[in-house]
Structure 1
Amino acid sequence: MASLLDVDGVARLTLQEARHLIVATDGVVMLMDEPSGALSAVASFGDVFGSVGAFQRGVGILGRIVETGIAEVVDDIEADPGRAIDGTGLRSLICAPLKVGDRVSGVIALASSERLGYTAADLKLLNTLGLQTGTAMENARLFERTVEAGRERERLMQLHEAAEVARAKLDSEMALAARIQADLFPSELPVLAGYELAATNRPALRCGGDYYDAIRVKGSDGRDQVLLCVADVSGKGMPASLLMSSMQATLRALLGRLESLPEVAGESSRLLFATTSASRYVTAALLKLHPESGQAVFVGAGHLDNFVLTGDQRITRLSSTGMPLGLIAVELPFEETAITVAPGDCVVLYSDGVTDAQNVASEEFGDDRLHEVIRATAHEPAQAIIEQVVRAIDQFAGEAPQFDDITMMVLKRLPLTSS
C-alpha cells in the first residue's frame, strides 16, 4: 500500500483489504478538509455511503471518530444518539480514524445491513489499517502536490519564457522606434546670420512622443525663410514614431508648395486625419520667420502657450490659433499671429513636459518658474539658456521621476552692436 502514490488508489485498495478481513455490506474511506472540517468520500462500496453526501467533523458517528481520534464499534446504529442520518438501512458499524502521527486526516468505516457483533480483534485490525492508510494517503497527497507543483512550475516557466520572448520583441520594437525618432530630429540646426538657434529633446521613456524641426524654405519673393516647429505627438512607442515621421514628411512636402502657414497647418491636419486612427493627433507650435527682417507668423495647433521674451524683459504669449492636427475631419481654419523678432528678443517654443514637470509634492514647474529662468539667462547663448532650463527643472523635480517628454527650442536674435 505504501508504494501507491495515488490517493484514490490507496483508498480503493484499503477498502478491498478491509472487506476481505472484516464482514461488511458497505464501506467508505473519507478524507477531511482541514480548514472546513468537511469529510468527503474518496472510495466506497455498497449502496449507502456513495449516496449520503458529505459529513462534518464532530457531527454524526463518523464525525465523532474524526473529532476524538478513537476507533469505535457501534452494534446498533439506530440506537446511537450521535447518528446524523436516519433510514440508511445499516445496522452495525465499525470505524477507525486515519492518522498521520497524532493528526487525524480522515476515517475508514465498514457497516453491515444486518446486525453483527464486531469484535475487539476487528477493531484492532481496522485501527491498524487506518494508521497504515493514513500514512499511505498522506504520502500520496504529498506526491500529488509535488506533481501539481511541478506542473505549475513548468507552466510558470513557459509563461516566463513567453514573457521573455514578448519583452525581447518589445525591446526590439522600442529600439527601432527610438532609432526612427532619433533620425527624424535634424542632425544640425540651420545657422542664421544674426541669430542663435538651439533645441533639445529628452524623452521620459526610451521612445518619446515629442518632435522638433527647423526647415529652410524659399518664400515666393525668393527670400530665405525658416520654419521652426515643436510638436507633441499623442501616444508613445512605435505608433508615435510613425505619426511623427508622417508629420515631418507632411510638413516638408507642404512647405514646398504652400506659402501660407495657416494653409500648411490646415492641409497637414487633413492629411494626418486621413492617414491615422481617430485617437492619434499632434499639437504643434509653428513659427515661420523671415530672418532678414525679423518678421514672423505663428500658428498654434492645440498647443500650450509659448512665448517671446522681448529685449526689455516683457513676455509676449504665443497662444493656440486652431485645433490639434489630425484630431477631427472638419476643416476648421487656422488663424495666425504676426510678430516681429527684434534684436535682443528670445522666442521660446516648448512642449508641456517643460511646465508640467512635477516634484515629489506633485507641484508643477509651471509658467512662472520658466519665465523666471529665461529672464535670468536671456543674456547667455541659446544653448546655455536651454541647459539652464533643464537644470532648473531637474532641481525642482528632485527625486520625482520624469513622466513626460521635455522638448524646447530657443531662437535668440542677437542685439545690434554699435560700430
Structure 2
Amino acid sequence: MKHTFSRSFATRLSIYVLSFTLIVFTTIMVLAYNYSQEKVTNYAIERTHGLLNNMVTEISSQLSSVKTTVNQSLWMLEGGLNHPDSLRHIITEVVKNNPFIVGSGIAFRPDYYKDKGKYFMPYAAFRNGKDGEIDYHVLGSQNYDYPCMDWYLIPQLLKQEYWSEPYYDEGGGNIIMSTYAKPLYNSDGEVFAIFTANISLSQFTDTISHLKPYESSYTYLLSRNGSFLTHADRSKIMNETIFSEAFDGNNQAQEQIGHEMLAGHTGTKHFNYKGKDSYAFYTPIQHIGWSVCTVCPSKIILHDLDSISREIIYTFLAGMLALFLMVYSIIRRLARPLEKFSESARQIALGRFDVKLPNVHSNDEIKDLHDSLSYMQHSLSAYVTELQATTASKERIESELSIAREIQMGMIPKIFPPYPDRNDVDLHAILHPAKEVGGDLYDFYINDNRLYFVIGDVSGKGIPASLFMAITRSLFRTLSQQAVSPARIVTEMNNSISDNNESNMFVTLIVGILDLQTGILKLSNAGHNPPFIIYPDGEVSLLEFKTYLFAGVMEDVVYSDEEITLKEGSKLFLYTDGVTEAEDIDKQLYGEEKLLEVLSQNTSSDVRSTVDAVVSSVAGHVKEAEASDDLTILLIHYKP
C-alpha cells in the first residue's frame, strides 16, 4: 500500500528539517531586525536633530543680526531726536542695511512732539518685497492706535527688549510679521519711544520647508502660544495651534508634544499622527521663545531596512523551496527500502510468519531493521502458539469462575420480598463481590416466629474467600437450627472454623435472632461493623454493642448476647466494610458519616428503596475508581 505524499516519511522528515531551519532563521531575522531598527532609529534621531540644530542656528543668527542692526543704529537716533524729520533717514538705513528687516519704525509716546500731533511713528518699509523701493510713512491714528499693541506695551511696561508674537500688520507692513522692539529711555529712565524692526515670517517658510530629512516628512514653526507660524498646510498658519489640531484628532501625544515645545525642551516623541506611526523631533529657538518641529512617518525612516529585510526573506523562501526538494529527494532515496519492510511487517501482522524478508546488503540501520524483523518473526510464531494455549486455559478458568459465582449467589437468599405472606417483617439485601466471587455473606430464615439472620465478611478476596464464605454460611444454617442464643451460634461457628484452620483465614460476623412477636432482638458481634438502627420517629444511630474477636482465629473464645427490644416500625441496617471503606480515585473513604446522612434522608422509604439509595450514594462516591472490597447490605424492617 503506497503512502500519499503528505503522509510519507520523507515528506514529514523534510518538513521537520525545514521547520527547524525556518524557526532558526525567523529567530535570527527578528533579532537582527530589532537590532537594526534600533540603530536606524537612533541614527534618524541624531541626523534629524543635527539638521534642526543647524536650522535653529541659522534662524537665531538672522534674529541676532536684526537686534545688532537696531542696537548699532541707536547712536544715530540719539543725535536726531531734536529733529524728528531726520529720523526718516535713520530707519531707512536700518531697512536698507539688513536683508532680514522688512520694515522699521520709531513709535513715540503720545504727544511727545506737540507739533506732530498725538501720534507720531515714522515708519520705513519695502513696497513690494525686498526688491522693491522703500516707502516712508508716519503711522499713528485712531485706526492705528499703536500704543495699544503688544509690541509697544510689553517693552514699555517691562522696560526691556521684546520679540512680539507674530501678527498681521495692517496699516504698517500689511504682512504677517514679528517685531523686535527696543525701548528708548530719557535721562530720567522713562521710556519715551519704542524702536522697532519687523521681520516677515515668509522668509522662514522656505528655510523650514526645505528641511526634509526624509521623504514625506515636514517641518513646522511654533510660536510662544502654540500657533503655527509655518506649516506644510498653509491654511493652518496663524489660524490654528498645535493644541487645536491635537484636540480635533483626539491626540493626547501631540498635545504633550505641544507642551514640551512651549516649555523650551528638546526631544523626540514616538506617536500616532492621523493614523500613521510617526516620530516628532523638536527643539527651541532661544531668545525668541519659538520652537521648531519635524514630523516623519516611521515607515519612511525604516523604508530601506524594510526593503532589505523583504529581499532577504524572499531569497530565503526560494532557498527553502530548493532545500526542501533536495532534502526530500535524498530522504526518499534512503527510505525506499523501508517500504518493502513495511509490506513484510504487514504480512507478518496478518499471521504469515513465514513471509520472506527483503535482502539487505548494507551494514547500517536498515540491516539492523532486517535482523529485528527476522527475530520478530520467530518470536511471534512461538508467542502465538503459547498464547493460544494460555487463552484456552484462561477461558476454562473464567468459565469455572462464572459457575462458582452462580453457585455462591445461589447459596444466599435473593428473592425479595422473601415473605410476602407475612406483614410483621420485611427484608432486603444485596451482595456485590469486588471480583468474580467474594467473601461477604448474609443469610436469614424464620423458625417459630423468630427471624435468624447473619452478615459476615471473610478476610481476603477471590476463590479462597468464597470457599470460606460457603463454609461459614453452612455452619450458620446447621448450628442455628436448635439455638435461641446468637452467642452460642457464634461460639460453635468459631470453634468449628478454628479447628484445622491452616490457611489462618477469619470472618467477622453479626448473628442475630429477632422475636417477631415480642420485638426482642438478640445480637452477638464477632469483630463486625456495628449496625445502624432507624427508629420510627426518623432518628438514626449506631448500636454500640460490645464487639468480640472475629471467628476463626482461636478456639474457646467466649461470646455473649446483647439484647434490645425493637419498637414497632424500627429498621435494622447491617452492612460490611465495603460500604464505609469504599474509596474514590483520591483514596477518600465513604465513611460512617456519609452513610448516616443517606439513611437519615430515607427513613420513610421502604427497605428496597433505602438499600438502593445507599448503593447509589456509594457508587457516586467511588465513580471510576476500582472496587476495593465486596459490598453487602442487609436491612430488616420490624412492623408487627
Aligned to 2:390: 163
Quote the offset at 1:352 in angstroms. Answer: 0.6
Quote the offset at 1:194 in angstroms. Answer: 2.2
Quote the offset at 1:156 in angstroms. Answer: 1.8
Quote the Cα distance in structure 2 between the aligned partners of 1:141 and 1:363.
Answer: 51
Aligned to 1:317: 543
Quote the offset at 1:378 in angstroms. Answer: 1.2
Aligned to 2:435: 205
Quote the offset at 1:153 in angstroms. Answer: 1.8
Quote the offset at 1:215 in angstroms. Answer: 1.8
Aligned to 1:336: 561
- Maintained 8 Å contact 1:318/1:337: no
Aligned to 1:295: 520
Aligned to 2:444: 214
The 1:150/1:393 distance shift into structure 2, 3 A limit, reads: same
Using the size of structure 1 for normalisation, the TM-score is: 0.60
Quote the Cα distance in structure 2 between the aligned partners of 1:147 and 1:238.
Answer: 43
Quote the Cα distance in structure 2 between the aligned partners of 1:367 and 1:314.
Answer: 12
Number of residue pairs the alignment of both structures matches: 277
Quote the Cα distance in structure 2 between the aligned partners of 1:248 and 1:307.
Answer: 23
CA RMSD of aligned residues (A): 2.6
User: Which of 597, 600, 603 does residue 375 from structure 1 map onto?
Assistant: 600
Say if 2:412 is the partner of 1:185. yes
Say if 2:473 is the partner of 1:248. yes
Quote the Cα distance in structure 1 between the aligned partners of 2:601 and 2:368.
Answer: 76
- Maintained 8 Å contact 1:321/1:335: no
- Maintained 8 Å contact 2:428/2:636: yes
Aligned to 1:365: 590
Quote the offset at 1:174 in angstroms. Answer: 1.2
Quote the Cα distance in structure 2 between the aligned partners of 1:291 and 1:195.
Answer: 8
Quote the Cα distance in structure 2 between the aligned partners of 1:183 and 1:207.
Answer: 12
- Maintained 8 Å contact 2:439/2:468: no
Aligned to 2:610: 385
Amino acid corresponding to residue 173 of structure 1 in structure 2:
E
The 1:158/1:235 distance shift into structure 2, 3 A limit, reads: farther
Aligned to 1:278: 503
Quote the offset at 1:384 in angstroms. Answer: 1.0
Quote the Cα distance in structure 2 between the aligned partners of 1:169 and 1:309.
Answer: 46
Amino acid corresponding to residue 605 of structure 2 in structure 1:
E
Stretch deviating more after TM superposition (337-346 or 273-282): 273-282
The 1:137/1:373 distance shift into structure 2, 3 A limit, reads: closer
The 1:237/1:397 distance shift into structure 2, 3 A limit, reads: closer
- Maintained 8 Å contact 1:354/1:393: yes
What secondary structure sits across from 1:339 in the alignment? strand
Could you list the runs of 5+ residues in structure 2 that have no partner in the other structure?
1-333, 335-359
What secondary structure sits across from 1:360 in the alignment? coil
Quote the offset at 1:263 in angstroms. Answer: 1.3
Quote the offset at 1:209 in angstroms. Answer: 1.9
- Maintained 8 Å contact 2:540/2:596: no
CA deviation map 1:52-74 (0-9, x unaligned) = xxxxxxxxxxxxxxxxxxxxxxx
Aligned to 2:425: 195
CA deviation map 1:236-272 (0-9, x unaligned) = 3332222222112111111123332111101111112
What secondary structure sits across from 2:635 in the alignment? strand
**Greater fraction helix:** 2
Aligned to 2:175: none
Stretch deviating more after TM superposition (177-186 or 160-169): 160-169
Quote the Cα distance in structure 1 between the aligned partners of 2:546 and 2:407.
Answer: 28
**Structure ID, larger Rg:** 2
The 1:164/1:240 distance shift into structure 2, 3 A limit, reads: same
Quote the offset at 1:216 in angstroms. Answer: 2.0
Quote the offset at 1:147 in angstroms. Answer: 5.1
Could you list the runs of 5+ residues in structure 1 that have no partner in the other structure?
1-101, 103-133, 219-223
Amino acid corresponding to residue 271 of structure 1 in structure 2:
S
Quote the Cα distance in structure 1 between the aligned partners of 2:624 and 2:540.
Answer: 33
Q: After superposition, where does 1:92-111 map in structure 2 within 5 Å?
A: none
What secondary structure sits across from 1:208 in the alignment? coil
The 1:141/1:413 distance shift into structure 2, 3 A limit, reads: closer
- Maintained 8 Å contact 2:484/2:513: no
Aligned to 2:282: none
Using the size of structure 2 for normalisation, the TM-score is: 0.40
- Maintained 8 Å contact 1:301/1:320: no
- Maintained 8 Å contact 2:499/2:555: no
The 1:148/1:316 distance shift into structure 2, 3 A limit, reads: closer
